[in-house]
Amino acid sequence: MAEWQEITGGVTAPKGYKAAGITAGLKPSGLPDLALIVSDVEAIAAGVFTTSQVKAACVDYCRQRLQAKPFARAILCNAGQANAATGSQGVRDAEESAELLAKELNISPESILLASTGVIGQRIKMDALRGGIPKLVAALSPTGSDTAAGAIITTDLVTKSIALETTIADRPVRIGGIAKGSGMIHPNMATMLAFVTCDAAVSPHLWQEMLSRAADRSFNSITVDGDTSTNDSLIALANGESRTPAITEMGAEAEKLEAMLTAVCQHLAKAIARDGEGATCLMEVQVTGAHDELAARQIAKTIAGSSLVKSAIFGRDPNWGRIAAAAGRAGVPFEQENLNIKLGDFLLFENGQPLPFDRAAASAYLKQAAANSVLPQDFVATNNSNDLSVDRKNIPGQRVDNPVIIAVNVGNGHGAGKAWGCDLSYDYVKINAEYTT
């Protein structure tokens, strides 16, 4: 039984946070495109960012801010323009964004972190942002998480939000999160943004370590299409407003908090994978028997990222050969005769040998996984360079609890790991072929 419970409220569920999302005119569609999360007090801040050598201005900005001072009061996110590969003017735009918000909030620009999402090579529409920031600050609310979650999405079908609560030192402690992501999703990290709030008191170095480990077990373990982006940012604030004793080193309370942080990140990561562009179902790859967790996750990520595996899942084809091939090329040594593969409850391959199985029933299992989805399958993407908000309906209530399960055992080691992905459909090509045209 989990040591926490799910609650409502997203990033405003923890004490001492407000959020807002508005339409500032950054997206020609007229849909929400500017989001803000603010802590009532200065919070410990940590971040994990893209490993791409081509980075958005906001990524470099945040890295520099966090290296200089691991504290923040606010996170500002614009959707519509990535502000990546925009040169020195893009850097100035990012800096001006922080300065404008700082003036409106009456705080230091150094206390503001930034995120952007949209088309690479496009600068933020600064005139729209200048006019939008006062409205955004005026809209801040202790129940504003949903509006913020809606303002950060681009090609997403659904908003992504979660909040959990546990007890530390006999006081409630909460962690909330919102995220966006649908395409250009691959470990290290992906075209995703995730913002996490917490009301525990944690030392800066420990909070960063916790977040990095949580990212490896969540956002760095999902894949949609094998592409890593320029803007990936996971930012987490911890403001201490729960009034619990400060957690400064690993121990029972730190482990409890990290487990809840990981659970929040994994929920958001799975929601991103399930919302993969054109996807019809979520895949969860479970690997056991490896030398260590890192090796197990490497095999799992390779299987989840295989275009052949993903295509087979979309075709409802229980093709275990593609799973075996992907496991074998993951770069992790194991003996072939120790390999076992299951699809749901169907054992397909055991001790390096194929087994007879009911192919029709296994295919029906894959069909049922897609049928369990609440995401609409009849959308028509209308992406173009002038409108990042496609008519893929923004429908709340996304389910991530019924994935296709691929279970792989590679030996007798203690290493176990998971990765999440989605199937690869015809619509993925359509959406991305029309993305800027």
Active site residues per annotation: 191
Q: For residues 285 and 341, what is the distance between their CA atoms, to the nearest angstrom?
A: 10
Name the residue among 130, 174, 177 with its Cα closest to residue 149: 177
Crossing angle of helices 307-314/293-305, nearest 10°?
60
Q: For residues 152 and 141, what is the distance between their CA atoms, to the nearest angstrom?
A: 17
Strands 404-409 and 282-290, how do they pair? Answer: parallel
How many CA atoms within 13 Å lie on the side-chain side of 315? 10
**Alpha helix positions (H), 152-224:** 204-216
**Alpha helix positions (H), 315-377:** 320-328, 359-371
Stretch (H or E) spanning 119? strand 112-119
Residues contacting 7, CB < 8 A, separation 6+: 13, 163, 164, 165, 174
Q: For residues 410 and 344, what is the distance between their CA atoms, to the nearest angstrom?
A: 17
Complete edge-to-edge strand list for the sheet that includes strand 353-354: 222-223, 415-422, 282-290, 404-409, 340-343, 346-350, 353-354
Tokens of 60: 């470099």
